[in-house]
Amino acid sequence: MKNAIIVSRDAHWRTVMEGTLLARGWRVASVEGFSEGDQPDAEHVHAILVDAASVDSNEVANWMKSGGDHLKVPLVMVPVLSELDALADTLDVPSAASKPSSGVVLRFWGVRGSIPTPGPNTAFYGGNTSCVELNVDNHSIILDAGSGIRMLGMDLMARAARAKEPLDMHLLISHTHWDHIQGLPFFVPAFIPNNRLHILGYSAVRHHLADVLAMQMEPTYFPVSMDDMPAHPDVQEVDDHFELGEVKVIAFFTNHPGRCAGFRFETRAGSVAYVSDNEINSEGQATHLPRETAQHLHDRMVETLHGVRILIHDAQYTRAEYKTKVGWGHSAFEDVVEMAGEAGVEHLVLFHHDPMRTDDGINKMVREARAFAAEKGFQIRIDAAREGMEIHL
């Protein structure tokens, strides 16, 4: 683990820089400047990154003169935030880009739970609701159709234009709560005649999946019905085991009001599991399910997730917050870390962020989750899902 100190008087700058470095596995501390009492301690540090817009270079020069010149690590004046990713690449050794491509990529298009939350306090992690793409050799397996699917649709249109070929896509729906289907009417590729969209999921409790999806496009709610979508989406209800091309899929029930599926995918480059909405009750209380049923579901899930390489899991709450949300169908990150540790997960991606969770709050959660895992002796890489994030398997 590498350590960085970031120096800025601008809270937004600190949040964004901290998030970028955390996402790359760095440990980060921040200070506001080089004035006395607020100087970075350069022991055991691998880089110091200074916000050139809010920290005066004379201040940096004075600090260097008064002893900071013994610094053996790079001190970088960062001109603008938009160059952050390129800068972070140069600090990362070895670069992930040098790895040969397996053709399997995970992309995050919507990472928020419950309702879209645009605004300045969520700009870094993003405010769109659930949508993740598992792309295998340019074939998209789309996980959920929250508002993030709109941007994925635009990107798929651009890819199809470059390839000069129609799109053939699979969309897996975990469940039909609004934050997982509300983007579908705005998914542009479904409005292009030669494209094919196959939708898969469990049936809902009261209705078939096809009916629930069509209902949100009835004239009261939306001007175009699902039957009039030119790509003619076909909707299939799935069993516990199925295959999408070479990818083997296991579907399983999660603990969430209504009926909600989680999925485990076996790809040639390793396994991925998507559990967007799931309640873990570590104290064995009844949730919306009776205690024994919830425990049985949990034990089966740990078995199904055993040894998975990347687990994307609901981390809507902290344990303190969860106390007043028992039965709401979501987990505290501490319980997710414990389950991931028990299941031998390699890389945990915290997902379905609470609408109230700011960028600062997510950075804090990542730091606490890593500390909690270390305390428990789990060797897990932990990150928070962020819109635009890609993981090359």
Judged by the rule CB under 5 A, the positions of this chain that interact with Zn ion are 113, 177, 179, 277
Which residue lies nearer to Zn ion by CB, 277 or 334?
A: 277
Which residue lies nearer to Zn ion by CB, 13 or 263?
A: 263
- Give yes or no for a contact between 331 and 279, defined as CB atoms under 8 angstroms apart: yes
Question: Rounded to an integer, what distance in angstroms lies between the CA atom of residue 371 and that of residue 299?
Answer: 25
CA-closest candidate to residue 347, choices 316, 373, 308: 308
Which residue lies nearer to Zn ion by CB, 143 or 169?
A: 143
3: three-class secondary structure by DSSP = strand
Which residue lies nearer to Zn ion by CB, 258 or 341?
A: 258
Which residue lies nearer to Zn ion by CB, 177 or 347?
A: 177
Which residue lies nearer to Zn ion by CB, 277 or 387?
A: 277
Bridge partners for 132 per DSSP: 108, 143
Min CB(181)–Zn ion separation in Å: 10
Min CB(300)–Zn ion separation in Å: 20
Find the residue with minimal CB distance to Zn ion: 177
Min CB(152)–Zn ion separation in Å: 17
- Give yes or no for a contact between 204 and 214, defined as CB atoms under 8 angstroms apart: no
Strands 168-173, 47-51: pairing is unpaired
Question: 67 burial class (0-12, 13-18, 19+ CB within 10 angstroms)?
Answer: exposed
Min CB(386)–Zn ion separation in Å: 17
Min CB(177)–Zn ion separation in Å: 3
Dihedral pair phi/psi, residue 176, rounded to 5°:
-105, 20
- Tokens for 190? 């479904």
Q: Phi-psi region for residue 114, left (φ > 0), alpha (ψ -120 to 50) or beta?
A: left
Min CB(286)–Zn ion separation in Å: 19
